[in-house]
Amino acid sequence: MTTNAHRGSTFLDLTKGRIVEIQKQIALRKHWERRTERFSVYEGITMSKSKRKGNEDSWEERVAELRGQQGIIRRPPVDDPGYIRQKQAGKLWVRERIDALLDKNSFFEIGSITGKPVYDEKTGELISFVPANIITGWGKIDGRKIFVTADDFSVRGGHADGGIAGKAPHGETLARKGRVPLVRLLDGSSGGGSVTTYLTTGSTYIPTLAGLGQSLDAMAVVPVASALLGPVVGLAAAKAVTSHFSIMVKGLSQFFAAGPPVVKEATFENLTKEELGGWEIHARNGSIDNVVTTELEAFQAIRTFLSYLPSSIFVLPPAVPYTDPRDRREQELLDIIPRKRGRPYDIRRLIALIVDAGSWFEIGETWGRNVVCGFARLEGRSLGVISSDCKVNGGAIDAFGAQKIARFIHLVPVLNLLDQPGFAIGSLAERMATIRHGATAMVAIYNATVPIFTIVIRRAFGVAASVFADPEDGKNYRMAWPSADWGSLPIEGGVEAAYKRQLENAAQESPEAREKLMMDLMGQFEPVRNPLRNANKFGVEEIIDPRDTRPLACDWLIHAYEHVLPQLVTLTAANYGHDSKLSSGRGYKL
């Protein structure tokens, strides 16, 4: 039974709800009134038409109209709900991001008045203007020209119904034709779909991805870097992974094919954005390369990444000033590899002792951790470095590590510091299809056109070493340290297999007898694993003093830049048309 008190309570709740709704409407009306005030400069232009005097052939009035619209779009919409939400989330506004990324005053916008203006039908005056939710244009990073596309999440969450079709793909085409790096600042769906579009078009539609070709064509010609600066979903997620370098911001970025509401409807999983696609998921599965803690750090990482790469495949990477001498010989390299083969060492320290001081920039540190990839410099020239981390599963290459190498191997000349015990083994490795992904890495290394200098610093075993230690069937430079240890399989495991019955018989006598037999067998094999014996037969081209690694690597890299890479650039240019596109029309292959 409903009591009078209950009826009164219900009525009061309804009244309060109605009051709140009215207050919202009043606030919204005031918001648009304030927003309309922003157009007063344009209204002044319109009102002055009849009063204009002077040269009737002048286009000053139209230019003033252009400047007025540009001013509206470029002014921070401080009263706009989308802008307010952006700031409350601790995020930079889209134009603040562009300013933070680029050299000061270097941005020239393309599509500067793209948006959805509303004009008064009678007076022709501008009533309102909603900017397109993507900004594109030319800019400079460290004095080098680039092209940037930046999503404005404050306008319809970056969805297509708040954008202008073709603007972003056009930008990617301009980057390719202009032969300059492409930087994407992703936030939202980056022009992806929204159900509200159906109401605008009056029908549903078969989805298209017309911009995919432009993205892949761009990746084949110029460096592409993407920063994920918020929830990145759908089309934006596809853009994130069609990049040479991608970066997330902890606590700010999420990345998924579809957001939590769609996931809940489809799979009944009730997840937050962070649980569904936060950095801890994607920075460990290889979808994203690097992770930082702030947006400004993300921009700096992109600037650093691009500093190692050429502007396009038609030019060489830039050289930078350096002070580190070529003939630096680090004594520490002589004993950094332990004599006891089971002991680990610090591969990053080893790399730092060889390359120019402070030049190491690691890619993918949080995923495929048994493999180490990154950029560095020798005498100011860019190179890639690949190796294994023996502290992670002994350095055995797994599925993620193989993917990491396959993506990295083709960008710049590579110093291959080889310590490869082979592919990861065991049930987990088999479930991850390690051999399949390992073969992909092997194909990528074999087909790489960049110069590769391989130095075997420790282990080279099994199928993995057949390509990692011998790129292009010996057509590249290869040397080894005295610590090198190689073969079709490690001697320890091979002895266990080859002398299994003898060891079992000895074990029946006593554990001590088995151990003694094992030591006797290893004593027989120990002399033949000395790498100098293999060098006697020219099984390895040269054994070097580890302290000579930097001088030799510098000689190799400078030779590559002076005599090898220019020819590769010339041959590459011959395969591309005037619009920087392969005659076959094929783009970059992931």
How far is 493 from 488, CA to CA, in rounded Å?
A: 11
Choice among 19-23, 89-93, 180-184, 265-269 with the minimum mean pLDDT:
19-23
pLDDT at residue 68, rounded to an integer: 85
Residue 269 CA from chain centroid, whole number: 29
Instruction: Determine which helix (DSSP H) or strand (DSSP E) holds 204, and give its type and residue range.
Output: none
Nearest CA to 157 out of 244, 70, 273 is that of 273
Query: How buried is 213 (Cβ within 10 angstroms: 0-12 exposed, 13-18 middle, 19+ buried)?
Result: middle
Q: What is the predicted pLDDT for the residue at 33?
A: 43
CATH number 3.90.226.10 is the correct assignment for the domain at 60-307 = yes
Q: Which has the minimum average pLDDT: 113-122, 393-402, 409-418, 487-496? A: 487-496
Q: Is residue 263 a contact partner of residue 318, using CB atoms and an 8 Å limit?
A: no
Angle formed by the axes of helices 434-447 and 399-408, nearest 10°? 20
Helices (H) and strands (E) in the chain, counts: 24, 17
Q: Which residues contact 168 (CB under 8 A, 6 or more apart)?
A: 134, 136, 149, 190, 191, 211
Give Cβ neighbours of residue 135 (< 8 Å, ≥ 6 apart): 94, 95, 98, 109, 111, 148, 149, 150, 152
- 509: which 2 tokens? 């006598």
SS3 41: helix
pLDDT the model gives residue 420: 92
Residue 536: which residues within 8 A CB-CB, separation 6 or more?
A: none
- Give the tens place of pLDDT for each residue, 212-241: 778 888 999 999 999 999 999 988 899 999
Please determine, for residue 368, whether its predicted confidence score (pLDDT) is greater than 90: yes
Residue pointed to by tokens 């048309």:
577
| Short-list 305, 259, 339, 302, CA closest to 97 | 302
First-to-last alpha carbon distance for the chain, in angstroms, is: 68
Mean pLDDT of 59-73: 87
> What is the amino acid identity at position 122?
K
Q: How confident is the model at residue 244 (pLDDT cuts 50, 70, 90)?
A: very high
Q: Which of 11-25, 54-68, 165-179, 459-473 has the lowest mean pLDDT?
A: 11-25
Q: Where are the beta strands (DSSP E) in 445-501?
A: 452-461, 477-480, 485-487
Which residue in the block uniquely carries the two structure tokens 């987990």? 428
Q: Is the pLDDT of residue 10 over 80?
A: no
Residues 6+ apart with CB under 8 A from 73: 112, 113, 115, 129, 131
What are the Cα distances from residue 344, in Å, to 257, 400, 544?
39, 21, 21
Q: Parse the chain into domains and list their residue ranges.
A: 60-307, 331-484+540-574, 490-528
Q: Which CATH number fits domain 331-484+540-574: 3.90.226.10, 3.30.230.70, 3.40.309.10, 3.30.70.100?
A: 3.90.226.10
- 383 with 356: CB under 8 angstroms? no
Residue of 215, 137, 209, 141 lying closest to 176 (CA atoms): 215
Strand pairing report for 414-420 and 477-480 = unpaired
Residue 45 clears pLDDT 50, i.e. is over it: no
Cβ atoms 366, 580 nearer than 8 A: no
Q: Which of 25-29, 448-452, 527-531, 542-546 has the highest mean pLDDT?
A: 542-546
Closest CA to 195 of 261, 242, 255: 261
What's the pTM value of the predicted model, to 2 decimals?
Answer: 0.85
β-bridge mates for residue 128, sequence order: 118
Cα-atom radius of gyration of the chain, to the nearest Å? 31
Give the CA dihedral 113, 118, 120, 126, nearest 10 degrees: -30
The arithmetic mean of pLDDT across residues 134-150, rounded, is: 96
- The answer to whether the beta carbons of residues 288 and 248 sit under 8 Å apart is yes
Task: Give the separation between CA 246 and CA 221, rounded to whole angstroms.
Answer: 17
